[in-house]
Amino acid sequence: MVDSLSSVAASSAASAPSASQASAASLADDFTTFLTLLTTQLQNQDPLDPLDSNEFTNQLVNFTGVEQQIQTNSNLESLLDIVGQDNLNGLAGLLGQEGLVEGNVGTHEGNGVRFEVDFAEAPDAVQFQVRDAGGQIVFQGPGQLISGTQEFIWDGTDGLGNVLPNGIYSLTVNASRDGAALGSQTFVQDEISSIDTSTDTPILTVGAQIVTQDELLRLVAGGARL
């Protein structure tokens, strides 16, 4: 599987001027216009009624203040760019690793799929069913009668031990307690194959699941499933 890291936002930012750059350009135009008007007024002022220099001084002070603010904004933008690049580099390090996310669908690529199932209460009966992409049951087996989290590792074979084709497989959990159906949460471990950073929140492809960075619950050391 080819790993990828896309960043539409980064390429757009590289080609478009920043807000501080646009502001600086606008300020330069305004200052040029101001100097032109000032020169014209000085050349045509009445010697008996000269222009008030305090007014021009105040305007110059205002231009200086705006210029300093633009420079501050430019420095902040540079800092944000550095932080953003560091985050991008950190995300790139996730590619190819195994992560745990909430979901019941995983990819079998010769080594099965590892699931975790969490019960708020201990069930009286549990049966795990693995289904192929068409919804057909290809394997089933019992679970543990305990509360909390338990793992279910499917090795990629059917009930007769035949290795099944690579593809997408899902886990169905049938559990009961005191004669009533018992709900559960299912999690799957899979490979992080791509990361999309074109939005404010990075989007990760983890096996067959599409999740945000915050929904990545755990990285699995070594990437081993079985």
**pLDDT tens digits along 139-161:** 999 999 999 999 999 999 999 99
Q: What is the pLDDT of residue 36?
A: 73
Q: What is the pLDDT of residue 14?
A: 47
Radius of gyration of the chain, Cα coordinates, nearest whole angstrom: 31
Mean pLDDT of the chain: 79
If one compares 74 and 2, the residue with the highest pLDDT of the two is 74
Q: What is the pLDDT of residue 215?
A: 93
If one compares 165 and 72, the residue with the highest pLDDT of the two is 165
For β-strands 218-220 and 148-154, DSSP reports them as unpaired
Burial of 79 (0-12, 13-18, 19+ CB in 10 A): exposed
Query: What pTM was estimated for this model as a whole?
Result: 0.61
pLDDT tens across 52-94, in order? 666 666 666 676 666 677 666 666 655 545 445 556 566 777 8
Q: What is the pLDDT of residue 13?
A: 45
Q: What is the pLDDT of residue 95?
A: 85
**Topology annotation, domain 98-223:** Immunoglobulin-like (2.60.40)
Question: Residue 20 and residue 72: Cα distance in Å, rounded?
Answer: 9
Residue 6, pLDDT above cutoff 60 = no
pLDDT tens across 193-212, in order? 988 888 878 899 999 999 99
Phi and psi of 96, rounded to 5°?
A: 90, -10
Q: What is the pLDDT of residue 199?
A: 80
101 to each of 130, 178, 205, 211, how far by Cα in Å?
A: 18, 30, 10, 8
Q: Alpha carbon 98 to chain centroid distance?
A: 16
Q: What is the pLDDT of residue 10?
A: 45
